[in-house]
A and B are shown apart, each in its own frame.
Chain A
């Protein structure tokens, strides 16, 4: 029996205020609004809006061709949308629509604040260069010119992504798929970005390696309070990682909500189909 709210029990007559949940108090770190992107006659992304809070993981699911990778490319500033706004809540960038920046400024923003891991390591890595060189490249591009510093930064970053350091000078082409993804991850976090984008990071890996890579991701995300966007068609991965889920089809968001809610009690007919096909 709870009587604490009864007026007679109050001390000093002060009204009791409960803190609002953290996520509703915080401002989103990443905010994209009204994204449109068309390739010729094909509309790839249509009116997609999303917010990601610091320390939150947003999962984007959908079948192939649903526009989820296109959204990720827009968020990584690799491509420009036909319409839309994109802001990051970071010092001296508040309220700046990143799509209005010029190419050089966009490159700087993407370099310092956004990390990305691709499904295909060939997209993210130089296969013939050393793994440590792949990581050090991020620092070289920002103007770091001390060899010892580069070595140390590469070692730290690779250690953080749980890569075996005795292989740090092997080129990625001789590494296993899981290790290649770890190198990509180390490269993505080398400059300590606040936003990490993952495009099917564990697709094509066997289940045990997949679980190990997901563990690393989860730990990094918790330690560094990253805002993380993960794109996957594997609902198991999304269920294991994501706080919130967005379901996409034909370039549109058809359902969004908390991960448990969407995956356990899907409302939209397509989502129901997707969940049942998978589970």
Chain B
């Protein structure tokens, strides 16, 4: 053994959970700030990762700085646990931290997700990490980012309402399908990742912590537990979720969950539940196996679990 080897620590290829301790400390501090100011976009130094920017690096950095050896990880991509992106991220996180993985929403401690919030109601102590491509709700109306900072500081959101006004004048309904701008804690408007309108109400007074992180844009923000989140709407034209009444899961015959539409050769459509972890549990239950199916945000009649928060969908004439 040479003298140098005797002095040095034994070689390790990677730090625990890949990120070095300084990076993790910085991210945790940014998260605490984001939780302290709900909806405020906190800038952070986005680190290099072995996946490309735009593939969930923001969410991954948050997950990596929160994960411990006892964590149970669930990774979702468009509702599915088994897509390439979700599988890759899950494998990377467990390899780097030794954490367990699951597809069960209720069992997970950290859920990293792209585009969906699970159907089952998440509880206290769980953390939802959302991957965000564009954190700035004002980007569409103001391309100058120093101007948008000022608009957030002044709570000057008139232009977002103007966009809604234009949609109502031209199309008689709100058009924004995903990342519907929402007011957090009556102060900041956030762009809640590209989750569908169906999922936006789930953030309101939620028991779990939601962290939203954009790796390419280097910004993260949070919706702490039990915080008000209201989608922007006019007093006399209520916000509505996607109208999927009558859409029935092709296996379980369940109604009123967020569905994927599967076009058929004869021109008709079949539907399947978008949340694959939840669908797995339902089919296991049908086969007679034991499955702990939790309460869902929307019941089988399509009623939201918080009474009076959502108006029932109206079909436009």
Residues of A within 8 A of B (CB): 104, 107, 126, 129-130, 132-133, 136-137, 140-141, 145-148, 150, 169
Contact between A169 and B169, CB atoms less than 8 A apart:
yes
Q: Count B-side interface residues using an 8 Å CB cutoff.
A: 15
Asked if B235 is at the interface of the complex by the 8 Å CB criterion, the answer is yes
Contact between A147 and B168, CB atoms less than 8 A apart: yes
B26 within 8 A of A: no
Contact between A140 and B169 (Cβ–Cβ < 8 Å)?
A: no
Contacts of A148 in B (CB 8 A): 236
* Stretch of B96-104, B119-127, B156-164 on the interface side: B156-164
Are A137's CB and B162's CB within 8 A? Answer: yes
A146 touches which of B158, B159, B235 (Cβ 8 Å): B235
Answer yes or no: B166 CB below 8 A from chain A CBs: yes
Instruction: Please give the distance in Å from A195's CB to the nearest CB on chain B.
Output: 21
Label chain A's interface by main secondary structure: helix
**Would you mind naming 10 contact pairs between A and B with Cβ atoms under 8 Å apart?**
A126-B162, A129-B166, A130-B169, A133-B165, A137-B158, A137-B165, A140-B161, A147-B165, A147-B237, A150-B234
Chain A residues within 8 Å of B9, by CB: none
Minimum CB distance partner of B162 in chain A: A137
- Judge if B170 is at the interface, Cβ distance under 8 Å: yes
Given contacts A130-B169, A136-B165, A147-B168, contact A141 B235 (CB under 8 A): no
- Alpha-carbon distance A148/B235, docked complex (angstroms): 9
Given contacts A150-B234, A169-B169, 14 further A-B contacts (CB under 8 A): A104-B154, A129-B166, A132-B169, A133-B162, A133-B166, A136-B162, A137-B159, A137-B165, A140-B165, A141-B156, A147-B165, A147-B168, A147-B234, A169-B170
Task: Tell me whether A130 and B166 are in contact (CB under 8 A).
Answer: yes
Tell me if B's interface is mostly helix, strand, loop or mixed.
helix
Tell me the bound Cα distance from A238 to B169 in angstroms: 39
Interface centre among B154, B170, B234 (most CB of A within 10 A): B234
Among A132, A137, A141, A146, contact of B234 (Cβ-Cβ < 8 Å): A146
Q: Which residues of A contact B162 (CB under 8 A)?
A: 126, 129, 133, 136-137, 140
Smallest CB separation, B113 vs chain A (Å):
31
Assembly CA distance A132 to B166 (angstroms):
9
User: 1/0 per position for B205-239, CB-CB distance to A under 8 A?
Assistant: 00000000000000000000000000000111100
Q: Which residues from chain B contact A104 at a C-beta distance below 8 Å?
A: 154
Given the complex, which residues of A lie within 8 Å of B169, measured CB to CB?
A: 130, 132-133, 169
Contact A140 B235 (CB under 8 A): no
Name the CB-closest residue of A to B237. Answer: A147
Q: Are A150 and B235 in contact (CB under 8 A)?
A: no
Q: How far is the CA of A89 from the CA of B168 in the complex (A)?
A: 39
**How far is it, in angstroms, between the C-alpha of A104 and the C-alpha of B159 when the chains are bound?**
17
A140-B158 in contact (CB<8A): yes
Mask for B111-155, Cβ within 8 A of A = 1, else 0? 000000000000000000000000000000000000000000010
Chain B window 48-71, contacts with chain A (Cβ cutoff 8 Å), 1 for yes, 0 for no: 000000000000000000000000
How distant is the Cα of A150 from the Cα of B168 in the complex, in angstroms?
12
Q: Whole-angstrom distance between the alpha carbons of A95 and B158 in the complex?
A: 30
CA distance A126 to B140 in the complex (A): 13
Q: How far is the CB of A211 from chain B (nearest CB, A)?
A: 32
The 6 closest A-B pairs by CB, nearest first: A141-B158, A147-B234, A140-B158, A140-B161, A146-B235, A145-B235
Q: Shortest beta-carbon distance, A171 to chain B, in Å? A: 9
Query: What's the Cα separation between A133 and B165 when bound, in Å?
Result: 7
- State whether B165 touches A146 (Cβ < 8 A): no
- Expressed in whole angstroms, the Cα–Cα distance for A137 and B166 within the complex equals 10
Report how far A140 CA is from B158 CA in the complex, Å. Answer: 5
Which residue in chain A gives the minimum CB-CB distance to B156?
Answer: A141
The residue of chain B having its C-beta at the shortest distance from the C-beta of A142 within the complex is: B158
A157 to chain B minimum Cβ distance, whole angstroms, is 14
Contacts of B165 in A (CB 8 A): 133, 136-137, 140, 147, 150
Nearest-neighbor residue (CB-CB) of B161 within chain A: A140
- Nearest neighbor of B154 in chain A, beta-carbon distance: A104
